[in-house]
Chain A
Amino acid sequence: MKTSKRIQAAGCAVVVAAASLMLAGCGEKSQDLAAAKTGRYQGKADSQPWDNDPGAFAAGNFTKGDRAGWEKALATRAQAQNEYGRAQ
């Protein structure tokens, strides 16, 4: 009698263990990086080239935040690549 009860108890324990294992599989957290699926840049933000102190080696006459001055400095500098312009 005692033996059959023990067998029943062991059987119940096995069923409970198997059920808990299966449920653990259902409860697995997703490992997908949801943000990475948006197709957008995920890295650090970058500052604008005109939005910082030009520094000691700066070319042209532009100040921090002066986008128009920065673009003018680059356009002026680009003309140094035009030897037709330089020769005249």
Chain B
Amino acid sequence: MARMKFLCDAERCIECNGCVTACKQEHDVPWGVNRRRVVTINDGVPGERSISVACMHCSDAPCMAVCPVDCFYRTEEGVVLHDKDLCIGCGYCFYACPFGAPQFPQAGAFGLRGKMDKCTFCAGGPEKDASDAEFRKYGRNRLAEGKLPACAEMCSTKALLGGDGDVIADIYRNRVLKRGKGSEVWGWGTAYGQPPKPAAPPPQKG
């Protein structure tokens, strides 16, 4: 069974923002909302790295845990989606998310928050697939067309990989073996790692 994941190769990302542009164009994302963005660490310092960040569709998603109206769900392929008709725009998910993925469009003249918007892994939402309602609320449903997320497919250096976790992990493993460095995958431990196990009790004396 496919388990959808994103993987960003910091050794390859050149901060071109092609993924950001592809996402905005594909889903007609409104002004002020960035489902994906590129973050640069140690900018201007030798060894700086850039990483493309969006919703990682976590295995144990904190947004899902804190939502007061339970508008999140996880599909069989592991994609975390939400129902915008149910979202009240409270912002709890934004504070819970370790990746800053949830976005809130300005919905009024006084800075009123609108309903949350985030990366859907190009899987649409709870509306009829490929319908106008789905596109208007969630963007295009590429998964239902047998395609992968536009950001990953558009990436010029193939730094951003998206798809079944086993497949993209194989691609990345092969790449690391060929170049001999850069095996650290940013964000994977946070998004897909196991919760820490409780420490074993100290041995009893005597």
Contact = CB atoms under 8 A, between A and B. Distances in A.
Contacts of B83: 41-44
B146 A82 contact: no
Interface residues of B, number: 45
Interface stretch (A1-9, A13-21, A22-30, A72-80): A72-80
Contacts of A48: 75-76
B167 A75 contact: yes
B178 interface: yes
B141 interface: yes
Q: Which of B68, B161, B171 lies at the interface centre, i.e. has the most chain A CB atoms within 10 A of its CB?
A: B171
A68 B125 CA distance: 22
Contact of B146 (A38, A60, A84): A60
A47 B162 CA distance: 21
Given A74-B164, A82-B171, A47 B86 contact: no
Contacts of B45: none
Interface string A34-66: 001011111111111110101101111010000
Q: How large is the interface on A (under 10, 10 to 19, 20 to 34, 35 or more residues)?
A: 35 or more
Most interface-central of B82, B124, B130, B146 (chain A CB within 10 A): B146
A81 interface: yes
A80 B77 CA distance: 20
Interface string B147-160: 11000110100100
Report which residue of A43, A57, A80 has the largest number of chain B beta carbons within 10 angstroms of its beta carbon: A43
Given A42-B70, A82-B174, A77 B126 contact: no
Max chain B CB contacts within 10 Å: which of A62, A77, A78?
A78
A81 B69 contact: no
Given A49-B129, A54-B144, A75 B73 contact: no
A18 to B, nearest CB: 37
Interface in B97-125: 123-125
Given A46-B81, A81-B158, A74 B71 contact: no
Interface of B: 1-2, 68-73, 75-77, 81-83, 85-86, 123-130, 141, 143-148, 152-153, 155, 158, 161-164, 167-168, 171, 174-175, 178
Interface of A: 36, 38-50, 52, 54-55, 57-60, 62, 70-71, 73-75, 77-85
